[in-house]
Each structure stands twice: as structure tokens, then as C-alpha cells.
Structure 1
Amino acid sequence: MHADHFSVTRVMIDGGREICVRLAGDLDADARTVLRRELYDAVHDNGAPLLVVDLQETAFVGSETIGALLDGLVRAQEAGKAVQIVNARGVVRTVLQVTGVLDLFGATAESSARLAAFDGGAVLPLPPAPALPAHWGRAAG
């Protein structure tokens, strides 16, 4: 999914053993719903045991993005998937470290190097997915 200031793309990596959600641009409140949908689909519509969130092209993460990442982490763990955040740099890495989010996701130099070397791939088609739980679309408060 692409918007004017962000994109979220899902790809299969390593022969289907990993599903990667690549984030790019400024992920603010506008990205929340799209990111939650992509993470939900990444967890539920494939058998990959590892979900990787690649932040190499991400310039900004807002609190809404952090909330969506945490929701995705919980959903992946409930589904028995391992989760990693890779390639978080600069202010994005700092924000994720300060908030404690980076510590919740496993991140290894090996996985970052493998993804950096991966030159892309076919974007997964978006098959019909189960409806999101009603509370996913509501604002907190």
C-alpha cells in the first residue's frame, strides 16, 4: 500500500520461511490502519514461521505506528511466529529504543544483512483476509 508519504509492502523471503513487511517514509497517524492490516495479513495468511519488519527506508515513526507494531507483535506471538525488526536507523532506532519497543523484537546483524542483500521480490497479492477485530479500528482513549 502506498500513500503520498509512506508505503507498506509485504514480500516473502527465503523460500517462504519469512514474511517481510517493509515500511518506508513517514509512518504517522495516516499509516496506522494500513500498517495494522498488513501486519494482520502477514501473520494470518501464510505459514512462514518468521515475521520481519524492515525499517531500512523509514524516516519517521509516530506513536500510532508504534502501537500498530506492538499489536502486530502480539498477534504474531499468538500465532506462534517469531518476530524481528531490522534496519532501524537514526531517529527511528532511537525512538524504538527509548520506548522499549526494540527490546521486544529480536534484531540480529545477520537478518539485517540478509535483508539488505535481498534485491526485492514479487509483492504478495493481498488475498481476502478475515475481518479485523472491531477494537483494531477504534482510537484509544
Structure 2
Amino acid sequence: MRLEHFRIARVMIDGGREVCVRLFGDLDGDARDQLRRELHDAVHDNAAPLVVVDLHGARFLDSEAISALLGGLLRAQEAGKAAHIVNARGVVRTVLQVTGVLDLFGATAGPPPLRRKAT
């Protein structure tokens, strides 16, 4: 049995005005379907006008995870929501830069300017 090598957590922030999907570990083909579901739910299960993907805990993203990430963030925009990537660092940031994903979603290397408490 394989140990969990990734984790995805979804939290509401700022009184429900933001939904944050936090990614941890190595996101590869094994993470693709769960990432797609979490992003779908982040877009459709609430009225938050902002969807943020926090990559602080992500160590690796492969092409399947990037595809799921890109699809989810594009769906957020199609639903009229703002979509951003935060805390992209190291090899994860490099991969997202090379693929052009960073340019599409206003990615930052650090946390958003205001720290908010999860609700």
C-alpha cells in the first residue's frame, strides 16, 4: 500500500468571501482526480467571488496536476469568479512559469497581502 504523498485541503476564508484550495506534497497523476473535484467544488459549492490556490506546501506538480489546476481555475473565471495562485516557489514556480500558468492567474511568490483567518 502506498503512503499518501499529497494532500488537498479546501477552506473558506474572510467570512466566506474567498475559498482557498491548499496543496501539499507531490501532486502527480495520482492527485489529478481529487484536485479536479476539489477545484470544481471550490467553484460551485459556495458563493465566494474569489478562488485561491495556495501552493505553499506543494513540492512538485506534474503535467496532469497542472492540467487539473488550469482547468479548475479557468472554470472559476468562466463562473465569474476571480482566480489566483499564491505561494508558488522553487521548482513548482518554475514549472508554472514555463507552462504559462503563472501569467494567467496573477501568481505571487508569497502570501496574499492581508493574512486572513480560516473559518
What TM-score do you get using the length of structure 2 for normalisation? 0.90
The number of aligned residues is 117
Indicate the SS of the match to 2:43: helix
In structure 2, the CA distance between the partners of 1:17 and 1:109, relative to structure 1 (3 Å rule), is: farther
In structure 2, the CA distance between the partners of 1:109 and 1:7, relative to structure 1 (3 Å rule), is: closer
Aligned to 1:101: 101
Runs (4+) of structure 1 exceeding 6 A deviation are none
In structure 2, the CA distance between the partners of 1:30 and 1:64, relative to structure 1 (3 Å rule), is: same
In structure 2, the CA distance between the partners of 1:16 and 1:91, relative to structure 1 (3 Å rule), is: same
Aligned to 1:131: none
Structure 2 portions without partners, runs of 5+: none
Aligned to 2:90: 90
Aligned to 2:12: 12
Query: Over aligned residues, Cα RMSD in angstroms?
Result: 1.8
Percent identity of paired positions between Structure 1 and Structure 2: 70
What TM-score do you get using the length of structure 1 for normalisation? 0.77
Decide which structure has greater strand share: 2
CA contact (8 A) 2:51 2:81 kept: yes
Structure 1 portions without partners, runs of 5+: 123-141
Aligned to 2:29: 29
Kindly name which structure, 1 or 2, has the bigger radius of gyration based on alpha carbons.
Answer: 1
Shift of 1:110: 7.9
- The answer to whether 1:56 aligns with 2:61 is no
